[in-house]
Chain A
Amino acid sequence: MTTINESVSNAEAARRAKPDQGSPQIDHEFAGLAPRSWKAPIIFTVLTLAGAVVFCLTVDPGSISKVSVRTGTPGIGDVLWSLPSLITLTVMTVIMVAMTAWAWRQAIVRHHITTWYGVGFGLIFVAAFLVWAVSGEDSALQVTALLSGALFLSVPLIFGAMAGAVCEHVGVINVSIEGQLLGGAFLGAVVGSLTQNAWIGLLAAPVAGALVGCLLALFAVRYWVDHIIVGVVLNVLVTGLTNYLFSTVLTANSDVFSIPFALPVVRIPLLADIPVIGTVLFNQSCLVYIMYAVVILLQIMMFHSRWGLRMRACGEHPRAADTVGIKVNRTRVLNTILGGAIAGLGGAFFTLATGLAFGKEMSAGRGYIALAAMILGGWKPKGALLAALLFGFADNLQNALGVVGIGVPSQFMLMAPYLVTILAVAGIVGTVRAPAQEGTAYKG
């Protein structure tokens, strides 16, 4: 409503300023109309055309796509569908064409399409892609395994994105997610190995992340160093430290420091019996349940609690926050450390959730992907969760399609999610707004 009011008052102001009312040209900005946005329909059209050309025309008309769904519910058997590839793809393309047409219509009448509409379109596109990829193959696509693996692989990305969101909302850009993940993985593994207990390791992982967060806060908040510089350099520092300790101490005494311990996989009694969803969501490592709790807690607390309001005030308008008595720099330091701890907890994924010993640079750039997920998700826990799941899905697609053994160059398959992300950032998300005063020092 406010936007309409503002534009109406703008229009009035413009009319008062311009006495020649009879000019035939009507500037839409001043006519109280929302600007038309063509980006989404154009992207939809490109994807639909690509889908129609590549999927429907290259698929062998007589081939069959086998899709297997394991329900995981006692009493309900597993499903194996043999879909005729061409018909399935045609139906999906028709749906995409219809959705694209609706997007054009919405653009013409100056309505914005919702994010969920874009997500839905993306899901259908991905489904069509999968049907096309497995068409004519002997082995079936294991949908349940694909989804549950995707959720598992997105755990570090989700924790990292949450850490990024907390830090950015308080006004500190956290590029050191990578270092925090790696530190968490390292300390979690070492402490778990020393105490012979994965749970104690899980307690140690956030400590490592928080230490990196402390350094970030020290340099960014106390010494006003550019946040991105500190973040990148801290990543190098943690990489160097963990590599060095791995090559010297861990390798020399691997029987003390490098015994792998894994957190148990827990099947939650009733919930896991829900067909498909139960197996995907509620038959996972303990770290996944902690992740659910963290995401829900942050989404609520960040926008509906005193802590969240104060935190966001420090990121949006620190001087105003200071004026009403919030200690800006103290809030920033504490929340940066909290963010670091969350990312450190996510680092436990690499060692304690997978049950592997620590290896050099095992976070492998996931911290940067988490950063991208956080921005793609519009700086909000909910959006970041969706984006991180997309990347986790992309990660797992490699495994799933590798099993099926498709004929198309696998590199192009693996590239697809990253291309889609670029399209999404360029088309649907566009310029998402960051917290206004992120990355600036408060020198009050």
Chain B
Amino acid sequence: MTDIAPTAPQAPNWRATFRKITNSSAVTVVLAIVVALVVGAILIAAADEDVQRTVTYLFAQPGDFFVALGQSIGGAYAALFQGAVVNFGASSSGAALLPLARTVANSVPLIFAGLALGMGFRAGLFNIGGQGQIMLGAVFCSYLGFALHLPVGLHVIVCVLGAFVGGAIWGFVPGILKATTGANEVIVTIMLNSIAGFLLGFLLTLQSFRVPGSNNPISPMVDANALYPTFFGTPVSVGFVLAIAAAVGVWWLMERSTLGFRIKAVGANKDAALTSGMNVRTTYIWVMTIGGGLCGLAATAPLLGTPSQALSVDIASTFGFDAITVALLGRSKPLGTVLAGLLFGGLRAGGYMMQAGTGVPIDIILVLQSVIVLLIAAPPLVKAIFRLPDPSRRHKVRRARGMKASVARSEVTA
């Protein structure tokens, strides 16, 4: 015993540190991204024509196959990185960082909508209505943007407020229905998505929503005064600052305000919240209305950002649905949502570059995103893939061993 004693405290310490590192969520995130990239690599290689050609004579000339493999995967991921972060081939340092600016600009609608849906999740509400709320926000924002002609500064504020109000109205409806009649918010928000789509389609048939003299269902552009000011001529605009401010606001609301406490309590156990005297109904209404408003703000990114888009039926793109994954990846927390929004915005920006440069369809980004979210949601699976120690398992094994030992002992005594 004596010769082991000096080393004994050392070993558990080292193991504890190792366990602490492997158990941290940062490691899970990194490993999940690694697995997603491997899955993506397999898909890229499988669809590459050179790889398909060389694999037919794999055993005759394996070198060809591996060169083709490396070229297809390496080329695609290099393009993805250059499109999302830094473009090494650019002439100036400003142009080199342009992809990063695009990433930041792309993340703005995802952050707004992700914050909104995350708030809903914390209250136990599954809001699939991001799409419709963004559309309504877009209608208000766009109309105020091209119909009014206000001075610089004021016009942006009016448009942003309009977007918030538009989204909030569309979020209020499922909230009040849930609170007063108990109508399932999943159904109501899905239905409201369709209704918003038809409403937008109808509005774009009206002359007042069209470019004068045009028959296309596209609105005029918003006034130059209504656009978000940009930083140094890059696509990064005040919109991103607003998104960060919204994240801070949501953090304050959820962590420091009474309403946030109520929201979390209702989400954790609504019966307990009701019993302790909280008003569950108004909480639902508040969560859905504020969430709807935040989703409405997501519409300002394409409308008031640079380059600006006019209002059309696909103004909401797929932001409302992408935001669900953003909120899930960000664990419904503001900081996590911002980071997840940046990651997905980067994948979007890089995906276009990859498609243009190497011909790998941008759809592979969806696969990467979903694999990342799935794995982050299931840390034990990541640990099993990389053979890292799993604390929950270790406990079971030890207990099983102990049982086995006691059984053996009882057999011996018998």
Could you tell me the distance in whole angstroms from the C-beta of B335 to the nearest C-beta in chain A? 19
Cβ A409 vs Cβ B205 within 8 A: yes
B252 on the interface (CB 8 Å rule)? Answer: no
Q: Would you mind naming 12 contact pairs between A and B with Cβ atoms under 8 Å apart?
A: A219-B374, A226-B377, A233-B373, A237-B374, A240-B369, A241-B43, A244-B366, A248-B47, A376-B187, A412-B202, A414-B198, A425-B184
Q: Which residues of A contact B324 (CB under 8 A)?
A: 232
Cβ A237 vs Cβ B184 within 8 A: no
* Docked complex: B117-156 residues within 8 A CB-CB of A: 126, 128
Interface segment among B230-238, B241-249, B357-365, B399-407: the answer is: B357-365
Interface segment among A20-28, A198-206, A364-372: the answer is: A364-372
A142 on the interface (CB 8 Å rule)? Answer: no
Known: A223-B380, A415-B194. A422 touches B366 (CB 8 A): no
A430 on the interface (CB 8 Å rule)? Answer: yes
Cβ A421 vs Cβ B187 within 8 A: yes
Known: A237-B366, A240-B365. A411 touches B201 (CB 8 A): yes
Cβ B190 vs Cβ A426 within 8 A: no
B199 on the interface (CB 8 Å rule)? Answer: yes
B35 on the interface (CB 8 Å rule)? Answer: no
C-alpha spacing A234/B184, complex, angstroms? 22
Number of A interface residues at 8 Å Cβ cutoff, please give it: 45
Q: Which residues of A contact B47 (CB under 8 A)?
A: 244-245, 248-249
Cβ A236 vs Cβ B325 within 8 A: yes
Q: Chain A binding site: helix, strand, loop or mixed by DSSP?
A: helix
Known: A219-B378, A411-B198, A411-B199. A375 touches B373 (CB 8 A): no
Cβ B186 vs Cβ A229 within 8 A: no
Cβ A237 vs Cβ B195 within 8 A: no
A243 on the interface (CB 8 Å rule)? Answer: yes
Question: Which residue of A is nearest B48, CB measured?
Answer: A248
**Which of A226, A375, A431 has a CB less than 8 Å from the CB of B182?**
A431
C-alpha spacing A431/B43, complex, angstroms? 44
Cβ A422 vs Cβ B198 within 8 A: no
Question: Which residue of B is nearest A368, CB measured?
Answer: B190
Q: A233-B374, A240-B369, A425-B184 are in contact. List 18 more A-B contacts (CB 8 A).
A: A39-B181, A237-B366, A237-B370, A239-B366, A240-B366, A240-B367, A241-B43, A244-B367, A368-B190, A375-B187, A376-B187, A411-B198, A414-B198, A418-B194, A421-B187, A421-B191, A422-B177, A422-B192
Q: Which residues of A contact B49 (CB under 8 A)?
A: 252
Cβ A225 vs Cβ B378 within 8 A: yes
* Docked complex: B273-332 residues within 8 A CB-CB of A: 321, 324-325, 328
A247 on the interface (CB 8 Å rule)? Answer: yes
* Residues of B in contact with A, size category: 35 or more
A386 on the interface (CB 8 Å rule)? Answer: no
Cβ A241 vs Cβ B367 within 8 A: yes
Cβ B188 vs Cβ A425 within 8 A: yes
C-alpha spacing A54/B73, complex, angstroms? 61
B55 on the interface (CB 8 Å rule)? Answer: no
C-alpha spacing A94/B259, complex, angstroms? 48
B339 on the interface (CB 8 Å rule)? Answer: no
Cβ A409 vs Cβ B202 within 8 A: yes
Q: Which residues of A contact B367 (CB under 8 A)?
A: 237, 240-241, 244
Q: Which residues of B contact A239 (CB under 8 A)?
A: 363, 366
C-alpha spacing A193/B371, complex, angstroms? 29
Cβ B181 vs Cβ A244 within 8 A: no
Could you tell me the distance in whole angstroms from the C-beta of B244 to the nearest C-beta in chain A? 25
Most central of B177, B186, B194 by chain A CB within 10 Å? B194
Cβ A243 vs Cβ B363 within 8 A: yes
A419 on the interface (CB 8 Å rule)? Answer: yes
B38 on the interface (CB 8 Å rule)? Answer: no
Cβ A230 vs Cβ B126 within 8 A: no
C-alpha spacing A236/B372, complex, angstroms? 11
A228 on the interface (CB 8 Å rule)? Answer: yes
Q: Which residues of A contact B (CB under 8 A)?
A: 39, 219, 223, 225-226, 228-230, 232-234, 236-237, 239-241, 243-245, 247-249, 252, 368-369, 371-372, 375-376, 409, 411-412, 414-415, 418-419, 421-422, 425-427, 429-432
Cβ B325 vs Cβ A232 within 8 A: yes
Q: Which residues of A contact B29 (CB under 8 A)?
A: none
C-alpha spacing A425/B373, complex, angstroms? 32
**Which of A236, A411, A422 has a CB less than 8 Å from the CB of B183?**
A422
Cβ A415 vs Cβ B199 within 8 A: yes
Q: Chain B binding site: helix, strand, loop or mixed by DSSP?
A: helix
Q: Which residues of A contact B364 (CB under 8 A)?
A: 240, 244
Cβ A372 vs Cβ B187 within 8 A: yes
Known: A223-B381, A419-B195. A248 touches B373 (CB 8 A): no
C-alpha spacing A225/B199, complex, angstroms? 37
Known: A236-B325, A240-B365. A372 touches B190 (CB 8 A): yes
**Which of B182, B194, B378 has a CB less than 8 Å from the CB of A430?**
B182
Cβ A375 vs Cβ B381 within 8 A: no
Q: Which residues of A contact B374 (CB under 8 A)?
A: 219, 225, 230, 233-234, 237
C-alpha spacing A223/B374, complex, angstroms? 11
Could you tell me the distance in whole angstroms from the C-beta of A394 to the nearest C-beta in chain B? 9
Q: Which residues of B contact A244 (CB under 8 A)?
A: 43, 47, 361, 363-364, 366-367
C-alpha spacing A226/B332, complex, angstroms? 13
Cβ B369 vs Cβ A426 within 8 A: no
Cβ A427 vs Cβ B181 within 8 A: yes
Q: Which residues of A contact B188 (CB under 8 A)?
A: 422, 425-426
Cβ B128 vs Cβ A368 within 8 A: yes
Could you tell me the distance in whole angstroms from the C-beta of A112 to the nearest C-beta in chain B? 15
Q: Which residues of B contact A412 (CB under 8 A)?
A: 198, 202
Could you tell me the distance in whole angstroms from the C-beta of A179 to the nearest C-beta in chain B? 10
Q: Which residues of B contact A426 (CB under 8 A)?
A: 177, 180-181, 183, 188
C-alpha spacing A431/B182, complex, angstroms? 5
Cβ B198 vs Cβ A415 within 8 A: yes
Most central of A234, A243, A248, A429 by chain B CB within 10 Å? A248
Cβ B195 vs Cβ A418 within 8 A: yes
**Which of A236, A418, A430 has a CB less than 8 Å from the CB of B366?**
A236
**Which of B177, B180, B202, B363 has a CB less than 8 Å from the CB of A240?**
B363
Question: Digit string of B1-45 for contact with A (CB within 8 Å is 1, else 0)?
Answer: 000000000000000000000000000000000000000000100
Cβ B181 vs Cβ A237 within 8 A: no
Question: Which residue of B is nearest A418, CB measured?
Answer: B191
C-alpha spacing A248/B363, complex, angstroms? 10
C-alpha spacing A414/B199, complex, angstroms? 10
Question: Which residue of A is nearest B180, CB measured?
Answer: A426
Q: Which residues of A contact B184 (CB under 8 A)?
A: 375, 425, 431-432
Q: Which residues of A contact B369 (CB under 8 A)?
A: 236, 240
Known: A228-B126, A236-B370. A415 touches B195 (CB 8 A): yes
Cβ A233 vs Cβ B205 within 8 A: no
Cβ A247 vs Cβ B380 within 8 A: no
Could you tell me the distance in whole angstroms from the C-beta of A223 to the nearest C-beta in chain B? 4
**Which of B202, B205, B366, B377 has a CB less than 8 Å from the CB of A243?**
B366
Q: Which residues of A contact B205 (CB under 8 A)?
A: 409, 411
Could you tell me the distance in whole angstroms from the C-beta of B368 to the nearest C-beta in chain A? 8
C-alpha spacing A33/B310, complex, angstroms? 58
Could you tell me the distance in whole angstroms from the C-beta of B364 to the nearest C-beta in chain A? 5
Q: Which residues of A contact B371 (CB under 8 A)?
A: 237
